[in-house]
Amino acid sequence: MKSETKAHIAVLCTNLFFAVNFSLVKYVSPALIKPYAINILRVGVSLILFWLLWTMGDIKPHIKRKHWPRFFLCGLTGIAINQMFFIKGLTYTSAIHASLLILLTPILITVFAFTVLKEKVTIIKALGLALGIGGAVLLILSKEQSASATNYVLGDLLIVINAISYTVYFIIVKPLMKEYPPLHVVRWVFTFGFIMILPFGWNEFFATHWDKLEWSHVASLFFIVVPGTFLAYFFNIYGIQHLGAGVTGSYIYTQPVFAALIAIFFFHEHLTPAKLLAGIMIFLGVFLVSFKRGSLNKSLGVIEE
């Protein structure tokens, strides 16, 4: 099998793993395991695995002193804020809501291109922004009853903050990806991120009654941590190396589809008309803002968490 074909399969698996996470996190949290305890487990185990993987390589680049602050900011935006707000928000809202709102990342990148880099605002992109943001607002304000969602508005807003943080991460990590091997970057980003989330999740982690978890809960945690975090990030790196950031990032659009199907068929969530309309608006908005992207979007690509 060609390396390019393997890369496509790996990136598709990445987004499938992330999609499964939406439902599995809700299965175990917050009833059995508090959100920040999951963060400690998820980031901590993945960090250990990334360091072990790194020891198997031959290249040991040193980090330049001027890049340490950027690594710190990447750990803050790409792991600490991103992971904590994502897991916490997911416990309040539904898997379908969260997976659709994740698509705000490419839309937010376009907003940054317009406001900060002063890229030209075309009618098509302006329409895309209006549709995408409008779909997100419709999703957040839609009122429905669900056993899996206790506070849609709060949960959705936390997911939006997560998307904003991840957008900032994409922008500031790009120079590091050019300077160092991707695995080296991810390893240190996870290191700084874990240090930052440790104070928030320490008490929740040790307050968890791990001995009372059933086999299905343990299996869910294993998937969230290993395939859903470590392998997903590792496969993403593999995809970037063989396909480039743009192609790898385009697979993000499969994530809400996988997540919705899993949530509907296995966890009995409902695809209401409001969700469907909001989803169509967000997908169409992302398509329009991605159409003939400007320099920022071409250089960054869109790669999910």
| pLDDT tens digits, 147-196 | 667 888 899 999 999 989 988 888 888 888 888 888 889 999 999 999 99
Q: Is residue 305 part of a domain?
A: no
C-alpha 151/C-alpha 192 separation (Å) is 31
Q: How many domains does the chain have?
A: 1
Q: Is residue 286 part of a domain?
A: yes
Q: Is residue 180 part of a domain?
A: yes
What sign does the dihedral 227-8-56-300 (CA atoms) show?
negative
> How high is the pLDDT of residue 144?
66
| pLDDT tens digits, 229-276 | 999 988 988 888 788 776 777 788 888 889 988 988 887 888 888 888
C-alpha 194/C-alpha 21 separation (Å) is 19
Q: Is residue 176 part of a domain?
A: yes
This prediction has a pTM of 0.84
Residue 291 near residue 130, CB atoms below 8 Å = no
Average pLDDT over residues 78-91: 93
What sign does the dihedral 75-233-223-156 (CA atoms) show?
positive
Nearest to 95, CA basis, from 179, 17, 23, 28: 23
Range of the structural domain that residue 284 is part of = 3-300
Q: Is residue 138 part of a domain?
A: yes
Q: Is residue 92 part of a domain?
A: yes
